[in-house]
A and B are shown apart, each in its own frame.
Chain A
Amino acid sequence: MESITRRELLKRTAALAVGSSLLLSRPVTAWAQQKDATSKVVLIRNQKLFANGASPDPEVCAAMLDEAVRTLTGQADAKAAWASIIHPNDIVGIKTNEWNSFPTPPELNALIKARVLATGVGEENVSVDDRGVKTNPVFRRATALINVRPMRTHAWSGVGSLLKNYIMFAEKPSDYHDDSCAPLATLQELPAVKGKTRLHILALLAPQFHHLAANTVTEEFTWKYSGLAVGFDPVAVDSVGLRIIEGKRRDYFGEDRPLNPPAKHIALADTRYHLGTSDPSKIQLVKLGWDESSYV
């Protein structure tokens, strides 16, 4: 595997004639390989999502998700869009994230499950789970997976990402921690996962852009971004989410404050493991709704 130093990035950046200081704190772009293929990511935001208080408004959230999935699939309406992703005979595992301090909002889990059921999937053939996925009977029989989690900073992987969310499928999750979780993309090769994911949903409702101790979440370091990012390429969706987190950090700190450690697993999912696209210039980003301080 190729190793990269700051100097190598500087040289590449100079060759590309792109603003170097930004790239060096966020090496995703400079690491990314040049590809012809693009990955589509739909980012939708709604300023009214938290109009009623601390919890997201389920109706607003539902409208956002439906419109994002409709746009992603290019279907005429939301029903057709979901039907193009999930089929009535599918067995569907919705891989959520239940970490106590910063879980996938339960409203979002419930909404996704409702949309899956609406496609005709039987109640007995859909399940929402996180830490129990290896033993959950639905997940063990699953023909389709939907990957959903909130984005947050992480003390070892840089960010908690869609790529990281599948670590609970691993026999021993810590096997994927080496080099600040560099090999997370290889989780997609696990038999329980490979080829099954129909949709990736990154919850950017109220992301965490900074932390102090490893496992703390404080309101000070979260903000109501009121967004969802969806796509078929987890690397592309994570790459968009990462740029948003980095943008907020620049805004909050008034300087470029790199994630510690860098979220290298997203770039490496592209350049080393060829799972998807991390290069922003190769991502077809469709932005819908509220655009103020979107950071992308």
Chain B
Amino acid sequence: MRNVYLFFFLLCGSGPLAFIHAQKINLMKYFPEQYQSYRADQWLDFEGEALYDYINGGAELYLSYGLKGMTGCKYNGDGLPQVTVEIYEMTSSKNAFGVYTQSRDREEYDYGQGSQRYDDFILFWKDRYFVIITAQKATPESRDALLHLAALAEEAIPGEGEIPALVAELPKEGLVPGGYLYFHHYIWLNAYLFIADYNIAGISDQTDALLAKYGEADARCYLLLVQYPNPEEALKAGEEMRKGLAPELSADTASIRLEDGSWFTLGVQGNKLAAIFNGQTREQVENLYQSIYK
């Protein structure tokens, strides 16, 4: 059913996070000093690790996607809940898209190239920017400000960014809407289910990785699809995963049933690795695997 069932014996490890020193961005020139009863009280400007001063450990999410810098503004008004605009500039549009995939619960396109809107916050991605606008509390005034500032932010970012090409290789059938992550830091391997407490798949800033949900909640399986710089690295990672997750797998064994009754498969073709977890049946995992390469 597949060309290769991998198995080289090379060690692999994670590389350092990609980090490009920030260049100044000037999106905030598009934002007003005053809007209705709100006034711009505090302009924000953080670069790289200085973001720790602003959001502590939460900055690591953005740093794991190659943060260049963040600009923003806090709006206050007498008796009004504070409204904050934050515009994160990433090293590439695919990284802004990646942060967005970490930040969505559903498919929605009201702003930018994908957005999420609640009463007290709006977030979206566009080009290489990830934008968050939050209100301390949802009131008619703060909701109005959120909508206005979100529209300004969208207007301030003229271009559009490309979605990583690997996304097009996700099989569409059964894919949960909005149910996949794009990443290149191993921490996110465990986003949907526990896989390993170390970098078992050799994820680095040189790889593109997707973790996707398929099927209904009560019969859900998960696809990990990783593209490596070359076939050798794909094979190396595949062997590491085979040893850690399913040493019984061989060229003659396409999938195996695990101790919890679920089905698992793993394979490498060219520079891509695919692993399917938590299958309800052998057919489910093998059909999903085959559909990747159709």
The interface of chain A, by Cβ under 8 A from chain B, is 3-11, 13-14, 20-21, 24-25, 27, 99, 101, 154-157, 164, 167, 173-174, 177, 179-181, 212-220, 254-255, 258, 260-262, 264
Stretch at the interface among B30-38, B53-61, B149-157, B163-171: B53-61
Closest to A158 in B: B190
Report whether B191 and A214 are in contact in the complex, using a CB–CB cutoff of 8 Å.
Answer: no
* B195 at the A interface (CB under 8 A): yes
The interface of chain B, by Cβ under 8 A from chain A, is 49, 52, 54-62, 86, 99, 102-105, 116, 118-121, 123, 130, 132, 134, 136-138, 187-188, 190-198, 200, 217-218, 220, 244-246, 258-260, 277
A219 CB contacts on chain B under 8 angstroms: 119-120, 137-138
**In the bound complex, what is the Cα–Cα distance between A181 and B218 (angstroms)?**
31
Most buried by A among B57, B187, B196: B57
Report whether B190 and A258 are in contact in the complex, using a CB–CB cutoff of 8 Å.
Answer: yes
Instruction: Tell which of B103, B121, B192, B197 touches A3, judged by Cβ atoms closer than 8 Å.
Output: B197
Report whether B56 and A99 are in contact in the complex, using a CB–CB cutoff of 8 Å.
Answer: yes
Report whether B195 and A6 are in contact in the complex, using a CB–CB cutoff of 8 Å.
Answer: yes
Report whether B260 and A10 are in contact in the complex, using a CB–CB cutoff of 8 Å.
Answer: yes
A14 CB contacts on chain B under 8 angstroms: 259-260
Report whether B258 and A10 are in contact in the complex, using a CB–CB cutoff of 8 Å.
Answer: yes
B58 CB contacts on chain A under 8 angstroms: 154-156, 214-215
B52 CB contacts on chain A under 8 angstroms: 173-174
DSSP majority for the B interface? mixed
A212 CB contacts on chain B under 8 angstroms: 103-105, 116, 121, 123
> What 5 A-B pairs have minimum CB-CB distances, sorted nearest first?
A255-B217, A214-B58, A20-B260, A156-B60, A14-B259
A217 CB contacts on chain B under 8 angstroms: 134
Given A3-B197, A213-B123, A258-B193, the answer on whether A11 and B259 have CB atoms closer than 8 Å is yes
B121 CB contacts on chain A under 8 angstroms: 212-213, 216, 218
Instruction: Tell which of B99, B120, B123, B194 touches A9, judged by Cβ atoms closer than 8 Å.
Output: B194
**In the bound complex, what is the Cα–Cα distance between A7 and B245 (angstroms)?**
5
**In the bound complex, what is the Cα–Cα distance between A148 and B205 (angstroms)?**
37
**In the bound complex, what is the Cα–Cα distance between A173 and B56 (angstroms)?**
8
Listed A/B pairs (10) with beta-carbon separation below 8 Å: A3-B197, A3-B244, A7-B246, A24-B194, A99-B56, A179-B197, A215-B54, A216-B132, A219-B120, A220-B119
Instruction: Tell which of A4, A101, A254 touches B217, judged by Cβ atoms closer than 8 Å.
Output: A254
Most buried by B among A8, A212, A213, A258: A213
Instruction: Tell which of A3, A25, A179, A180 touches B193, judged by Cβ atoms closer than 8 Å.
Output: A25
Instruction: Tell which of B49, B134, B191, B258 touches A7, judged by Cβ atoms closer than 8 Å.
Output: B258
Report whether A215 and B55 are in contact in the complex, using a CB–CB cutoff of 8 Å.
Answer: yes
Closest to B192 in A: A258
Report whether B198 and A3 are in contact in the complex, using a CB–CB cutoff of 8 Å.
Answer: yes
Given A156-B61, A177-B60, A260-B190, the answer on whether A218 and B55 have CB atoms closer than 8 Å is no
**In the bound complex, what is the Cα–Cα distance between A8 and B120 (angstroms)?**
42
Other contacts beyond A215-B55, A254-B217: 14, CB < 8 A: A3-B196, A4-B196, A5-B200, A7-B258, A14-B260, A21-B260, A27-B194, A101-B134, A101-B136, A155-B102, A173-B52, A214-B55, A260-B188, A260-B192
